Structure 1
Amino acid sequence: MTRLTVALRRYPHTEPLLDGTVKVPGCELDLPEVEPIHRAFAPMVREQRYDVSELAVATLLQAVEADVPIAALPVVLHGNFHHRSISVWGGDGQLRPQDLRGRRVGVRAYSQTTGLWVRGVLSDTYGVRAQDVTWVTTEGAHVDGAPEPPNVEHTSAKLVDALREGDVSAVVMGARSADHVDGLVPLIGDWKDQQERFLDHHGWVPINHLAVVRKDLLRSEPGLVRALYQGLCAGIDAARPVEPSGSTRELVVRHGMSDTLLATLQTAIRYAREQELIASDLDAADLFADFNRYVGRI
C-alpha cells in the first residue's frame, strides 16, 4: 500500500477524499493539517514536501518559470471574484480606484494570487497599472528567487495598522478577512455590479488555487496519480447541489480540461506578465502537459 502526503484545505468538495468517504485504490493518505493553506505553498515549491498539494495560481506560474519539478492537475479547488478584495479605511467616499495612482497599497505578498486578480481589475477596468502604485508587503514570494519589481516595498507592520495610520491608502485582503475588521469598506463601491459585468464579459470566475503533484511521482506512478485525481473529481461531483444555485463556488470549482479553464489561466498569465511577476510568455495548455502526457494515456 502506497502512502501519499496530501496538503489540501477542507472544502465541501475535498472533504469526501479527506474523510475517507472517497477511497483511492492502493493508496493511504497522510493529511497534514496546514492552516491557513497558503502555508503549504512555500514548502511545496521549495522542497516538494508533499506528494500532492493545493497551490495558488501566481505561485504555480512562478514555479513553472523557475523549473520547479511540480505539475498542475486540472482540478480547481478555490476561486472568487476580487472586486471586493481591496479595502479602504472608513468609507468616506473620497477615494476612487483610479485615485490609487501614485499611492501606496498594502498586500500580504506581491505574488499573492488575490493581489494578481485585484491588480488585473484595477488595470483593465480603471486604467491603473501595477506600476502606477507602490505595493507594500509583509511577505516575499513562495518561490525562491522570484523577482519583484522596483515598486514593491516591505514592512514589518501589520497592514491594517498601516492603513489605519495612513501609511497605505488601501489594503488587498479577501472579503471574508476584511469582514472581520471593523472600519474596512470596499474601495469599489459598486463591487456587486462590477462582478456581474465581469462574469458577463468573461464567462468565468477567477481561479485562485489548483491541485499540483510532484513530477517524479507523476512520471513513476501515473496510475496512482490518476486514481487520486479521480478521487478529487468524485469529491467535486458529490458536492454539487442537485438544484444549482449559481453560487460562486459552483461556478469556479471544476475538474477536467476545458476551454473555460484555459481561458481563465491565460488571463492570469497575461496579468502576471503585465505585473512583472513572470517574464516568460507561458501558455495555459502547457501547464497541463505532464498531466496529459502521463495520466491522459491510462
Structure 2
Amino acid sequence: MARLPLTFACGDYDRTRALAEDTVRPDGIDLTYLRLPVEETFFRMMRHQEFEVAELSLSSYVLSLRTDPSPFVALPVFTSRMFRHGSLYCHADAGITEPEDLRGKRIGTPEFQLTACVWMRGILADRHDVPVDSVSYFTGGQETPGRVEKAGVDLPDSLSVARIPEDRTLAAMLAEGEIDALCTPRVPSPFVAGDPRVRRVFPDVVVAEKEYYAATGIFPIMHVVVIRRDVYDRHPWVAQSLYKALLTARDLAYENLYDTSALRFMLPWLTPQLEEARALLGRDYWSYGVAGNREPLTTFLRYHHEQGLSERLWQPEELFAPESLEAAVI
C-alpha cells in the first residue's frame, strides 16, 4: 500500500531533526521536510495554506479558529517554547528603569498578534501592573519597512494601535527614541551592534525568567504543529501518526542532548546548563500534550482573549485533534 505523501514546513530543530533526516518515519506517511524560517512558514501557511503540515504560531492558530470550519487542526506538539522577558527592549533615555515604567509609553511590536508579544503583554499586566490598554502600540517592519499583520485582527477601541510610517523601521525608531520600547521575538539590530541607546528592560534576563517560572510554573509555549483541514478530514489517522513520530523525535533529542562524548552545540557549558534546566523545570521540561501543559495553555488563551484577539475564551482541549489527545493502553 502506498504511503501518503505530506509536506511538513518547520524550523531546523533538534526535536524534529529525526523527521527531517528520515530516521523517524510517521506510520503510513512519506514526509517531505522543508526547513524554512518561521516567519516565511507562518506567512505562507496563514495566507495561502501551502503545506499539508506546518509549524505555526500559537497566536495565529488561535486566530484561525474564528472561521468555521477552521482551516487547520493542531497537534499538542510545541516546536518552540521560550521565556520572553529577553524580548523587551527600551531606549536608554525613555525613563524606563523597571518594567512598571512602561505604563504610558510607546511600544513597538512587529505584529500585535505575535505569540511572544501576547505572552509579554499578559505577563506585564499580571505581574508588573502594566495593563494592556495603558500603553500605545506601534506596528511595522522591525528591520525592513512594510511588514503587515499576517492574519487580520479586529481589536477593541480601548487599545491604541497604529502603523508606523511605511519608510520607517521599528529598530531605527527605537534607537532614535521615536518609540520608547520594543517587544519582539528577534533581537533588534541596534542591540546586536552594541548601540548604547538600546538596552533590555529586564537587565538580568535569566534571573527574571527563573523568578517567573518559580512563581508560575509556566514555560511559555510559542508554536504548535498544524494539519491542513482538508488533509485531516480525508485522513484523520494522520494526527495520531504524526503525533507519535514527533514524540519519538523529541525523545531522541532529549537523549542526544545529554551525550557528553562530544558537544552537539557550540555551548561550552551545555551539559551543566541542561542539568540545571532539568533540576528547575523537571526532566520532561519540553513536554507535549495537554495534561502537562494545562497551565501555560490556559494562561495564554486568557491573554489572547483579554487582548481582544479571540472573540471567546477557548479551552485547551478545543485546540487539538481528538486523536492526538488519546493513546492506546497496553
Partner of residue 288, structure 2: 255
1:206 is the counterpart of 2:206: no
Aligned partner letter, 1:141: E
Cα distance change, pair 251–202 in 1 and its aligned pair in 2 (3 A): farther
Secondary structure of residue in 2 paired with 1:279: coil
Match of 1:275 in 2: 307
Identify which range, 125-134 or 25-34, moves more after superposition: 25-34
- Return closer, same or farther for 1:100/1:294 CA change in 2, 3 Å cut-off: closer
Matched position secondary structure for 1:255: coil
Kindly state the Cα deviation for residue 31 of structure 1 after the two structures are TM-superposed: 2.9
Measured after TM superposition, the shift of residue 297 of structure 1 is 7.3
Partner of 1:21: 23
1:105-124 correspondence to structure 2 within 5 Å: 105-124=107-126
Checking the alignment, whether the CA contact within 8 Å between 1:204 and 1:251 is kept in structure 2 is no
Write out per-residue CA displacement over residues 262-291 of structure 1, whole angstroms, 9 at most, x where no aligned residue.
221110111112211222121112112xx2
Return the match for 2:244 from 198, 219, 230.
230
Q: Which residue of 2 aligns with 1:165?
A: 176
Q: State the Cα distance separating 1:6 from its structure 2 match.
A: 0.7
Residue 49 of structure 1 aligns with which residue? 50
Q: 1:268 to 1:97 in 2, by over 3 A?
A: same
Contact kept, 8 Å, 2:239 with 2:324, in 1: the verdict is no
Identity of aligned residues (%): 26
* SS in structure 2 of the partner of residue 72 of structure 1: strand
State which of 189, 201, 206 in structure 2 corresponds to 1:192.
206
Report the TM-score when normalising by structure 1. Answer: 0.88
Q: How does 1:55-134 map to 2 (within 5 A)?
A: 55-67=56-68, 68-90=70-92, 94-134=96-136
Tell me the distance in 2 between the aligned counterparts of 1:193 and 1:74: 29
259, 262, 266: which is aligned to 2:298? 266
1:165-206 per-residue CA deviation (whole Å, 9 max, x = no partner) reads 111001112365566242232112343332122111221210
Q: Are the structure 2 counterparts of residues 92 and 61 from structure 1 closer, same or farther at C-alpha, using a change threshold of 3 Å? A: closer
Q: Which moved more, 1:42-51 or 1:119-128?
A: 42-51
Judge conservation of contact 1:225–1:295 (CA < 8 Å) in 2. Answer: no
Match of residue 264 from structure 2: none
- Residue 94 (structure 1) shift: 4.8
With 23-32 and 197-206 compared, the bigger mean Cα shift is at 23-32
**Letter of the aligned partner of 1:55 in structure 2?**
L
Taking the aligned partners of 2:232 and 2:42, their CA distance within structure 1 comes to 19
**Alpha-carbon separation, structure 2, partners of 1:270 and 1:9:** 27
Which amino acid is 1:107 matched to?
Answer: T
Distance 1:229 1:167 in 2: 46
Q: Distance in 2 between matches of 1:83 and 1:220?
A: 41
Do the aligned partners of residues 48 and 246 (structure 1) sit closer, same or farther apart at CA in structure 2, a change above 3 Å counting? farther
Counterpart-to-counterpart distance in 2, 1:222 and 1:297: 14
**CA offset at residue 121 of structure 1?**
1.7
TM-score for the superposition, normalised by structure 2: 0.80
1:218 corresponds to which residue? 232
Q: Give the Cα separation in 2 of the matches to 1:294 and 1:189.
A: 40
**Larger-Rg structure:** 2
Asked if the contact 1:218/1:294 (under 8 Å) is kept, the reply is: no
- The aligned residue for residue 147 of structure 1 is 154
- Cα distance in 1 for residues equivalent to 2:223 and 2:193: 24
Aligned CA distance change for structure 1 residues 278 and 94 (closer, same or farther; 3 Å): closer
Bigger RCO (CA 8 Å, 6+ sep): 1
Partner of 2:262: none
Unaligned residue ranges in structure 2 (runs of 5+): 141-146, 259-270
Structure 1 range deviating more: 58-67 or 184-193: 184-193
**Could you tell me whether the CA contact under 8 Å between 2:86 and 2:200 is conserved in 1?**
yes
Aligned to 1:180: 192
Distance 1:13 1:91, change over 3 A: farther
In the alignment, the residues of structure 2 paired with residue 82 and residue 43 of structure 1 have an alpha-carbon distance, to the nearest angstrom, of: 25
Q: Which amino acid aligns with 2:161?
A: V
Q: In 2, Cα distance between the equivalents of 1:273 and 1:224? A: 30
CA deviation after TM superposition for structure 1 residue 45, in Å: 2.9
Contact 1:265/1:284 (CA < 8 Å) preserved in 2? yes
**In structure 2, distance between residues paired with 1:295 and 1:270:** 21
Residue type of the partner of 2:216?
A: H
Q: Aligned pair count?
A: 293
Q: Secondary structure at the match of 1:245?
A: helix
Distance 1:166 1:189 in 2: 19
Query: Cα RMSD over matched residues?
Result: 2.5
